Amino acid sequence: MVQTTAVEEVPAWCGFFDVDQFGTFCEEVDDACGCFGAEGQDLESGFVELAAGVYSDIHEFSLEQLAKRCSEAPPEDWESLCFGQIDAWSAAEAQSEWLEQATLDQVRDRLRIHLYDGGPRYDEAEPEDPEEWFRLQLADGLWVGLVVAGTPSSDDDSEIDTQVHNAAVQAWGVEPDRLVEAALANLRREQDAPAWGEVLVQVSDEAGEPVETITLLMASGSAAWALLLDEVEPELAESGVVLAVPSQDTLLVAEVPEEDMLDLVVEVVAEVAGDHVAETEVGYGIDGGAYWYQNGSFSRFEVSVAAVD
């Protein structure tokens, strides 16, 4: 049985409720929010804040239309109505629907590269399913997707960074490679090429004595520069580097000074990347793996990370 929230008066934005109805509505919304870790909000304001979109950023949503729908439905339907709407907001469903109706011209300048682990949108869905995420594989555990920054919706909801799904790509009627190139063109236009900073990692033996120092190059801004490394760092791309993309805004690369040091460099890069992932805000982490990059090609190392001081 629903336990109604005690309220003294009904806010003007939902004056169609009486006090008891509004209390019940707040209880149902709060329960639904609790399924997403967002319970306990001041719902009398008429708004609710939820993590939404590809990066789980916090957005504000108006409760007025949901309240109207509940007022027109039997009370026994309120639970499913409230959960369904909170779930839809969190998943940016209205924004995904807008993408299917948009033209390529409407989204081209908003396209962004989204590197991620290739996890599906829905369990047991086929990769080519229209509702599945659009994705192209770079290597084991590393995929290229697309995001449309600040995607609007027909419902006047928040503009949310929304991952692109197959049905949207099909609606735009262009080859996937052209969409990726458009996103890379936006990256070139909006950001300077990576400015590298050095990270020195000291490696010690079992006795704790330093035996080697490995130099990593770290760039902040966008991990998507990994796709343009042959353009911005042609010498590194030609010789090959160990690379990691721990978060959406971080790129790590390391040269291998001597051939017999490859395993050590890989372990160091993987450990630094893993530490970075652990410290990254929810929604922005990518992967703690290490990859060999050379002339535009990625391949993943299988790493058993040793202790690195």
Across the chain, what does the average pLDDT equal?
Answer: 94
Q: Tell me: the pLDDT tens digits for 237-287?
A: 999 999 999 999 999 999 999 999 999 999 999 999 999 999 999 999 999
Where residue 2 falls among pLDDT bands split at 50, 70, 90? very low
Where residue 7 falls among pLDDT bands split at 50, 70, 90? low
pLDDT of residue 243: 98
Where residue 304 falls among pLDDT bands split at 50, 70, 90? low
pLDDT of residue 207: 72
- Work out the average pLDDT over 71-86: 98
Q: Tell me: the pLDDT tens digits for 202-247?
A: 998 777 777 799 999 999 999 999 999 999 999 999 999 999 999 9
Mean pLDDT is lowest, of 6-20, 70-84, 292-306, for 292-306
Whether 33 has a pLDDT exceeding 50, the answer reads yes
Whether 3 has a pLDDT exceeding 70, the answer reads no
pTM for this model (two decimals)? 0.91
What is the identity of the amino acid at 120?
P
pLDDT of residue 99: 98
pLDDT of residue 140: 95
End-to-end CA distance of the chain: 56
Whether 305 has a pLDDT exceeding 90, the answer reads no
Q: Tell me: the pLDDT tens digits for 121-177?
A: 999 889 999 999 999 999 999 999 999 999 999 877 789 999 999 999 999 999 999
Whether 307 has a pLDDT exceeding 50, the answer reads no
